[in-house]
Structures are given as C-alpha cells and as structure tokens.
Amino acid sequence: MFDKKPRTFNFQGKDELQFLDFCRKYPEQVIPSHKSSATEGFEYLFDLISTNSMDVTTDFSPKDRLKQFSGDGNKLSSLKWMLKLMVKMMKWRKRCFRDLSPYYNEIETSTFINKDSKSLTHNAVLWNELNEYAATKWNVIKIGFTELPTQLIFKNKFVLFRYALIFMQEMEKDKIDEAPLSSAGREVMRIYSTLGEAVGQIARWLRKKGIRCQANHPLGGLVCTPPLAGKAGMGWQGRHGMLITPECGPRQRLAPIFIEEKIFNFTDNSDHVWIEKQCNNCGICQKNCPPSAILGEKIVSIEGIDGIEAMRKGIDREKCFPQFLKTAGCSICIKVCPFSSGPKAYEKLKNKILSKLSNL
C-alpha cells in the first residue's frame, strides 16, 4: 500500500517527515491512506519538477518571489511582510506535528487505541463553545464535523484520529477580485497563515478540555479538504475543484482538526449537491483559465467514498501549476466564479436551478 522509501521533496519539513516515518512503523496504531488515495498537490508538483516531467517557466529565485508579492509597491516593505508571513506559516506547520509528541509513546507501547465511538452523545455545550471561540478569536466563519474516509488521506500519509472538524476562513473579496495580481496572491497566503495558526491554537484549546486531537496546517496537508468539507455538508466542489459554500463561494480556505471521539453530531448533508448542475451550465471558470487547466467535464478518480460517492478530478494539474507559481496563487477561477459574490448570489443561483429541476 505504501512506498517503502517515499520521496523527499522541497516542501515537506523535518517534523512532517519524522511524523510520517514514525507512523509508517506502526500502521496498525494509526489511520493510513487508502490504496486508491491521490498524491498531495505540492508533493505531486515537486515530483514533476524533480523528474523534469513539467516545464515550469517561472523562476524560483527570491528576487522573483519578491517581485510577485510586491507588485509596483515598496519592495523592502513587501520583503519584510513576506518573510514574516513565511516564518509564521513554517512555525505553525512545525507546531502541528510537534504537539503530537505526547501520543508517540502510547503508539510505541500499543496503548494508543482509536475508539469506535459513534454512539457517544452530542456535546452541545462544547460545540457551541467551540464555534464561539473559533469565530471570535480566530475569524472562523464555519465549522463542519464528519468521519474521515481513508480515501481522502493523501497517498503515503497518515492521521491519528478518525473524526474530522473542518474549519473555514474567508478571503477578502476586494483582494481576490484583483487576481492574478500580487495583491490576490498575498491574500491567499495570508489566509493560509492565519488559518494554520487558528487550527493549531484551537487544537491546543481542545486538548485543555480533554479532547485528544491532531491539527493539520492548510498548506500541504495530510488530507484532501474540499471533498471532506463537502461530505460534512459545508458546500460542494465546483468545476474548478474548490469547495463552493453559501457564505463566500470558493473564496475561502479549509483546514482540519482530527479528533478521537464522535462527541458532536455530524454536519453531513446533501443540501449543496445542486451546485454540480449550476457548474455544468456555467463554465465561466473554464473559459477564463489562462492555461486552460479546468476540464470541460470532471473525471472520476476515486470511487466508493462514503457520503460523496466519488472524488472527481476537474483540473489538469500539469497545466495549472506553472500558472499558479507564476502568479503566486493565480485565483482567477475564484475571482470569476459567480458564487464568490456571497450569500445573495448563492440563493439566487440555487432558486434558479431548483426551479428548473422542479419543472422537468
């Protein structure tokens, strides 16, 4: 099921590699990926680059990265901002793994047991406290809760717990509307940073309340979050592959915290499946994608996933990644998506689609 010697690439940090190596020694004590699981995006990207399988036309030099983030603004100020942001992101990527050290001894001694706790009573008080803390302290606009299908764990990755809380932060519309300019790229990276700290701090808050858990930073994660959030009833994946939500469409980022026990009610629902029909009728993201990376029709890549039936590929990653790198995040497909306007657009499109379906 797993590569004996998984490739080391330029994005994974030492702490993540140590975590994965440790889990590989104790596959019965942790939750491994499925035999059909997909490769994580950044790992896939660097594998292509390292094997010269993809022609990346963008320069990876610090000078080029600074130019992307500064635009026509002050380069010194942009450099300070970028360095501060990267330091913060790397710090919380490390902490998410280092905070797991108390569990390692339990795994080694075979006393680490993932409980099958589907019958536990919903803790409404803690759920309300969690939502209030996440919203007021960390600007989380929505939380979902579901059981994690192993097919959504990336290939050769592991998690410690079977249940997933999914947290969502919104990207500012006026910044994303400037895509593919550097201001949009900065907003994307800002949310990666703030959400990474948020799930790390929320996990620490949960542990103080006796909840065993594992936070996962949104940048280069262990699981594929858009379909996981779709299973949790937070929205549905659009043609461009990102989760479309009632609150802000695809103009958001997601990150999970895995917990040991089912102490909350699942938020799973199929209220947003109609989005598939709207995306089939629309195609604006596909028409506006500079490298033509968005497919005209999604391709089923993984079948038999509880709650969502299948994971479907909507992006040609070999075409998308060079544009993504060249523009520090691109975000054109998010910008042009009708759902990005917010709740009013969501309701308007929903009423239109459901009205057509009822007349069939």
Pick from 109-113, 313-317, 341-345 the range whose average pLDDT is largest. 341-345
Residue 5 above 50 pLDDT? Answer: no
pLDDT class of 67 with cuts at 50, 70, 90: low
- Look at residues 178, 219, 201, 237 and name the one whose alpha carbon lies nearest to residue 89: 219
pLDDT value of residue 45: 77
Structure confidence at residue 279 (pLDDT): 95
What mean pLDDT do residues 11-36 have? 91
Residue 178 has a CB neighbour count (10 Å cut-off) of: 16
User: Which tens digits make up the pLDDT trace of 78-111?
Assistant: 778 888 888 999 999 999 999 999 999 899 887 7
pLDDT tens digits, 204-251? 999 999 999 999 999 989 999 999 999 999 999 999 999 999 999 999
Asked whether residue 304 carries a pLDDT value surpassing 50, the answer given is yes
User: For the residues 319-347, what does the mean pLDDT come to?
Assistant: 91
Higher pLDDT, 310 or 49: 310
Q: What is the mean pLDDT of residues 152-170?
A: 97
Q: Of the ranges 86-90, 124-128, 181-185, which is most confident?
A: 124-128
pLDDT in tens, 33-53: 999 999 998 787 777 777 666
In this predicted structure, the answer to whether residue 65 has a pLDDT above a threshold of 60 is no
Residue-wise pLDDT for 249-284, tens only, equals 999 999 999 999 999 999 999 999 999 999 999 999
Distance between CA 195 and CA 198 in Å, rounded? 5
- What average pLDDT does this structure show over 187-210? 96
Give the pLDDT score at 86: 87
Task: Report the share of the chain in percent with pLDDT over 70.
Answer: 87
Give me the pLDDT at residue 77, please.
Answer: 72
Give yes or no for a contact between 319 and 313, defined as CB atoms under 8 angstroms apart. no
pLDDT of residue 61 exceeding 70: no
| The pLDDT value given to residue 75 | 64
What mean pLDDT is reported for the chain? 88
Give the list of residues 6+ apart from residue 93 with CB closer than 8 angstroms, or none: 13, 15, 16, 196, 217, 219, 220
Two structure tokens written together for 265:
């009610």
State the pLDDT at residue 321.
85
Which has more confidence, 75 or 151?
Answer: 151
pLDDT of residue 309: 84
Tally of CB atoms within 10 A around 161: 20
Decide if pLDDT at 292 tops 70: yes
Q: Two tokens at 147? A: 């059981």
Q: Is 157 helix (H, G, I), strand (E, B) or coil?
A: coil
Helices (H), 26-74: 41-50, 62-70
The CA distance from 94 to 24, in Å, is 19
User: What's the burial of 147, exposed, middle or buried (CB within 10 Å: 0-12/13-18/19+)?
Assistant: middle
- 142 has which bridge partners? 168
This prediction has a pTM of: 0.91
What's the pLDDT score for residue 190?
A: 94
134-140 average pLDDT score = 98
Provide the 3-class DSSP secondary structure of residue 201: helix
In the chain, where are the structural domains located?
14-358
At what angle are helices 62-70 and 182-208 packed, to 10 degrees?
A: 100
pLDDT band at 1 (very low <50, low <70, confident <90, very high): very low
Tell me what pLDDT residue 198 has. Answer: 98
Confidence (pLDDT) at 79: 75
